[in-house]
Amino acid sequence: MTYDAIIIGGGHNGLTCACYLARGGMKVLVLERRSVVGGAAVTEEFHPGFRNSTASYTVSLLNPKVIGELNLEHHGLRIVERPVSNFLPLPDGDYLQVGPDTATTQEAFARFSRRDAERLPDYEAMLERSAAALRELALMTPPATASGLPELFRAAREGRRLWKLPLSVQRDLLALFTRSAAEFLDAWFESDPVRAVFGFDAVVGNYASPYTPGSAYVLLHHVFGEVNGQRGAWGHAIGGMGAITQAMAREAERLGAEIRCDTPVAQVEVQDGRACGVALESGERIGAKRIVSGVHPKLLFGRMIDDDALDDDFRGRIERYKSGSGTLRMNVALSELPDFTAKPGRGPHHGAGIVMAPSLDYMDRAYEDARQHGFAREPIVEMLIPSTLDDTLAPDGQHVASLFCQHFAPHLPDGRSWDDEREAAADTVIETVNRHAPNFKASVLGRLVLTPADLEERFGLVDGDIFHGALSLDQLGPARPVLGHGNYRGPLKGLYLCGSGSHPGGGVTGLPGHNAAREILRDARPWRL
């Protein structure tokens, strides 16, 4: 049987693409290597009686257009907002709490700097104007280069959108795309805790210092989402992140797409310069009119396509494609809630993003430590306790916590292996949390530790990169993953890209899958353009 489209990888973008293609009348096959669809957005039991999101762990960037058009709420998806945005315990026993609204946050900021409190509304307005422009661009297909009149018109249209923005917004976007997070935030705020609570977003999945040029864009990338219509908010999917991808899978199957798990692809078959099918690791061969990849670009072009099918320049650029976000991910089963020295007892802060990184200098030291030692001995840790919002994840009276940790080098120095260092790194994270909540270490009943090597082995995140490649200026928009192929079309006829290694990049957005499907359907039916 020949399919209209085979999608390699059943992650959230692959499933999104499958839904749109099947709705467009195509016969679609999704091939997933693991025994469950969802890629990094899955919910699994990691300790008897305790379930949690295994890798991706919080919701904001999932585009409302995708949620609505794929009927995800009809298929059971329910997202709840955090009661407060962030809680930042400080080494001196104080704390900074952000949210749930601007006025409350201003009161919190004023304890550290009245000037910072006064500047907050202007900062939020600036960031929202920039994020609004990014939201619009994220739904567009970047232009390819030297690809004829349609691409020329598309480039002109996109450029016109940018140039029509107010000059002040253009200036803010230029600063966000080129400056370091520290330089950008220093122009707005003077207090270390205030700069830290915003600067944390700049190092999430970004193996860099907040003083690294370009890190301000990563900050912006994390704020263009929304939850239940509230822009910039973060939330939790009841049942964990797997609730999103299971809902997507149900919609894909309802529309007629076929999904096969435990079906790893070994090779994309190429004939006369066209991708025409796949060979599975089992030896089975399946033909298709087009192949759509949701996997990391380095996996697709480095392991699944013969070198002689690609030109030397393209292959070399894929080899140099930057990947490796310096992330360690942990889930822990807890007998009780952490009791923070800075704010004892249970409260809304337990439902926040709990950030353990009190200053930009602390984040910079963590990065430099990781570069020399392999991982930060005082790491940046964000902890979420989703069981405070979702009683489906843990037994009554007990809890699960997600620990998202920076900086942990993709490759350790001195020939050391992450297999040898996994538990030592995890202990460092536990001790970091325990300094702020002294009952934490004793409350841990079990833990799952995923190093950068584990993230690659389990989810295909090359060098542990949660974004399928660094979000640097040379790997964004029309240059993601390689200039000339940012429009979701690969270097072979019939080959398309729909994963986070394409525009607009990583995070659980669904937009690469949504945008790629639009281009595939355009190519299949040009008379309907």
Residue 429: per-residue pLDDT: 98
- Each residue's pLDDT expressed in tens, for the chain with a length of 529 residues: 689 999 999 999 999 999 999 999 999 999 999 999 999 999 999 999 999 999 999 998 999 999 999 999 999 999 999 999 999 999 999 999 998 999 999 999 999 999 999 999 999 999 999 988 888 889 999 988 655 555 555 555 555 666 678 888 888 888 999 999 999 999 999 999 999 999 999 999 999 999 999 999 998 888 878 788 888 789 999 999 999 999 999 999 999 999 999 999 999 999 999 999 999 999 999 999 999 999 999 999 999 999 999 999 999 999 999 999 999 999 999 999 999 999 999 999 999 999 999 999 999 999 999 999 999 999 999 999 999 999 999 999 999 999 999 999 999 999 899 999 999 999 999 999 999 999 999 999 999 999 999 999 999 999 999 999 999 999 999 999 999 999 999 999 999 999 999 999 999 999 999 999 999 999 998 655 4
Q: Which residues neighbour 32 within 8 Å (Cβ) at sequence distance 6 or greater?
A: 9, 10, 14, 259, 260, 261, 262, 263
Residue 146: per-residue pLDDT: 52
Residue 529: per-residue pLDDT: 45
Residue 314: per-residue pLDDT: 96
Q: Which one, of 1, 11, 132, 50, lies nearest residue 498 by Cα?
A: 11
Question: Using CB atoms within 10 A of its CB, is residue 302 exposed (0-12), middle (13-18) or buried (19+)?
Answer: middle
> What is the phi/psi pair of residue 148, to 5°?
95, 180
> Is beta strand 95-98 parallel, antiparallel or unpaired with respect to 86-89?
antiparallel
Residue type, 52: N
Residue 160: per-residue pLDDT: 60
Q: Which one, of 463, 44, 426, 80, lies nearest residue 245 by Cα?
A: 44
Residue 134: per-residue pLDDT: 87
Paired strand residues for 450: 329
The side-by-side arrangement of strands in the sheet containing 258-260 is 258-260, 28-31, 5-8, 291-293, 495-497
Residue 252: per-residue pLDDT: 98
> What is the phi/psi pair of residue 432, to 5°?
-60, -45
Which segments of 183-251 are extended strands (E)?
226-227, 230-231, 235-237
Whole-structure pTM value: 0.94
Residue 26: per-residue pLDDT: 97
Residue 104: other Cβ atoms inside 10 A: 13
Cis peptide bond N-terminal to 407, omega within 30:
yes
Q: Which residues neighbour 180 within 8 Å (Cβ) at sequence distance 6 or greater?
A: 209, 210, 211, 212, 213, 214, 215, 216
Residues 104, 105, 109, 111, CA torsion sign: positive
Report which DSSP code applies to 144: P
> Is beta strand 327-334 parallel, antiparallel or unpaired with respect to 399-408?
antiparallel
